[in-house]
């Protein structure tokens, strides 16, 4: 990026100008990452945690004056720090400030070896978080994703008196569940490095066998709230089967995608909307699948929250084509997807004619959340006949037709998917007229578990946009040759219309004479 400046000084009536100075500053592109040697989030007092920090210069220029900053959690003691294998001085506090210079495309590695300190006051699992940043001239230019651990309680390590580390989960009441809440800014279901972590999200456990919230020995509901790093810990959980239930501001957030494909457990969200029986009352809650706890700790039971988006599937039904088959042959009439179609049949051909009506049923995603029209219903008129041979994707239950053709076809925002339904009508002289036909979305679904913003599937409400009707009018064709009898002529004369007939006749005679 080119920059330029000059200095202009005015003293009295004198104006002094400096030479112009121009240079270019290259964009700084630093790749920063951190990981630890502990794959499981749970650690014990006295256990070693080694943080590996890598800093890569992705530009083609030397980068000087970089400062790597790492505030090691106060629950840890630093034993050793190395830069590219060379040991450097350990700070008196847990604040690391390491100066770096990187050649073009160079990578340097910092290892920070720590140990988990013993705390006599630690009676519950304690979450710790480590995050590293890089600054250039006091400005933050890169930050790592947080690395979280949970220090288990009652793992006593002390030199005076010496006591061995107790085996993890020796007590079946000492199980733990932990996870992270984050704001999924791009709503892709993945917990990414630069996305915000959410505090204040409350978590409880529902006992699957009793449908009651789990309580401790004092009769209080076991619950946890995410801290400033988005981490929560539920502790002292007995062996059993549970469902974790999350409380969040539903006026501000939607759930993100549930267990997005291709992600490791640490990156995805385990929560979706469910109807659950809780203490004798059915409620819609944000919950996990069943978690089986048997002498073990569980981690990465995460919840991702995204900006509120609309889920709105709209259904439109129309007539696209009508065929009339009889002894005279087959007549086909095409329509431009109208919801009011008209067809005329000569009166002498009504008996024995078969009318075949082809409907198009289109589902359009008018919202922002992609979803599925799992089942479409057609409330078929008694005047129409359904044939499974003509409709391979449809089936009939009572007086209603159903299709699940779109059940596995994702409908993206602004996208439309269409199904076709063909129905027939056997004609007689007495069954012309209007034939209404109605379709509706009977079941819908999206991966966020959100309800349609303005429709309830299958409720047959004509005021909602997932409900649509198409009407066909079958009538007798007009303009056929008419033979008038003497009685008809007599009636015309009696009504005084004869003058009109005579006038027409005279006009005709004039025309003949004029020839």
* Domain range list for the chain: 20-150, 169-308, 313-476, 483-515
Q: What angle do CA 456, 462, 463 make, to 5 degrees?
A: 75
- Residue 337: per-residue pLDDT: 86
Three-state secondary-structure class, residue 335:
strand
**Using H for helix, E for strand and C for coil, what is the string for 422-480?**
EEEEECCCCCCEEEEEEEEEEEEEECCCCCCCCCCCCCCCCCCCCEEEEEEEEEECCCC
| Fold topology of 20-150 | Immunoglobulin-like (2.60.40)
Q: How far apart (Å, rounded) are the C-alpha atoms in residues 280 and 258?
A: 27
Low-confidence ranges of the chain (pLDDT < 70): 1-13, 15-26, 40, 154-173, 479-515
Q: How far apart (Å, rounded) are the C-alpha atoms in residues 475 and 105?
A: 80
- Residue 445: per-residue pLDDT: 93
> Which is it for the CA torsion 480, 486, 487, 492, positive or negative?
positive
Q: What angle do CA 140, 144, 150 make, to 5 degrees?
A: 130
Q: How far apart (Å, rounded) are the C-alpha atoms in residues 392 and 365?
A: 25
- Residue 174: per-residue pLDDT: 77
Q: What is the CATH number of domain 169-308?
A: 2.60.40.10
- Residue 448: per-residue pLDDT: 82
User: Domain 313-476 class?
Assistant: mainly beta
Q: How far apart (Å, rounded) are the C-alpha atoms in residues 433 and 264?
A: 61
- Residue 154: per-residue pLDDT: 62
Q: What are residue 223's phi and psi, to 5 degrees?
A: -150, 165
- Residue 81: per-residue pLDDT: 95
Fold equal for 169-308 and 313-476: yes
């Amino acid at each position: 990026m080119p920059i330029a400046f000059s200095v202009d000084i005015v003293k009295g009536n004198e104006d002094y100008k400096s030479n112009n100075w121009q240079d270019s500053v290259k964009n700084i592109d630093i790749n920063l990452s951190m990981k630890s040697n502990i794959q499981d989030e749970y650690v014990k007092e006295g256990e070693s945690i080694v943080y590996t920090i890598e800093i890569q210069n992705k530009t083609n220029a030397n980068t000087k004056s970089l400062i790597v900053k790492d505030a090691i959690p106060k629950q840890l003691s630093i034993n050793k720090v190395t830069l590219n294998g060379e040991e450097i001085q350990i700070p008196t506090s847990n604040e690391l400030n390491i100066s770096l210079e990187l050649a073009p495309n160079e990578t340097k590695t910092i290892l920070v070896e720590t140990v988990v300190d013993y705390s006599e006051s630690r009676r519950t699992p304690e979450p710790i978080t480590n995050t590293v940043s890089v600054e250039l001239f006091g400005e933050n230019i890169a930050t790592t994703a947080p690395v979280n651990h949970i220090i288990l309680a009652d793992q006593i390590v002390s030199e005076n008196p010496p006591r061995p580390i107790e085996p993890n989960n020796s007590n079946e009441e000492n199980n733990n569940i932990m996870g992270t809440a984050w704001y999924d800014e791009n709503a892709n279901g993945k917990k990414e490095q630069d996305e915000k972590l959410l505090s204040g999200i409350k978590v409880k456990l529902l006992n699957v066998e009793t449908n009651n919230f789990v309580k401790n020995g004092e009769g209080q509901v076991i619950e946890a709230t995410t801290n400033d790093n988005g981490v929560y810990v539920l502790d002292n959980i007995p062996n059993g089967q549970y469902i974790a239930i999350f409380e969040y501001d539903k006026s501000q957030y939607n759930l993100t995608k549930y267990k997005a494909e291709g992600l490791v457990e640490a990156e995805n969200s385990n929560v979706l909307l469910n109807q659950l029986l809780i203490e004798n009352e059915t409620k819609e809650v944000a919950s996990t699948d069943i978690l089986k706890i048997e002498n073990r700790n569980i981690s990465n039971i995460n919840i991702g929250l995204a900006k509120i988006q609309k889920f709105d599937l709209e259904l439109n039904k129309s007539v696209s084509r009508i065929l009339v088959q009889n002894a005279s042959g087959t007549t086909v009439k095409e329509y431009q997807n109208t919801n009011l179609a008209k067809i005329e049949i000569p009166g002498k051909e009504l008996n024995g004619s078969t009318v075949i009506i082809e409907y198009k049923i289109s589902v359009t995603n008018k919202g922002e959340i992609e979803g599925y029209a799992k089942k479409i219903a057609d409330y078929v008129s008694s005047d129409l006949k359904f044939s499974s041979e003509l409709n391979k994707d449809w089936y009939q239950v009572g007086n209603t037709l159903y299709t699940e053709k779109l059940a596995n076809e994702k409908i993206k925002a602004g996208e439309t998917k269409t199904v076709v339904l063909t129905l027939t009508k056997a004609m007689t002289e007495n069954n012309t007229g209007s034939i209404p036909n109605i379709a509706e979305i009977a079941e819908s679904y999206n991966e966020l578990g959100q309800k349609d913003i303005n429709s309830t599937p299958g409720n047959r409400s004509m005021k909602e946009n997932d409900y649509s009707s198409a009407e066909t009018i079958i009538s007798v064709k007009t303009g056929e040759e008419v033979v008038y009898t003497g009685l008809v002529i007599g009636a015309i004369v009696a009504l005084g219309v004869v003058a009109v007939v005579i006038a027409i006749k005279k006009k005709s005679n004039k025309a003949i004479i004029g020839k």
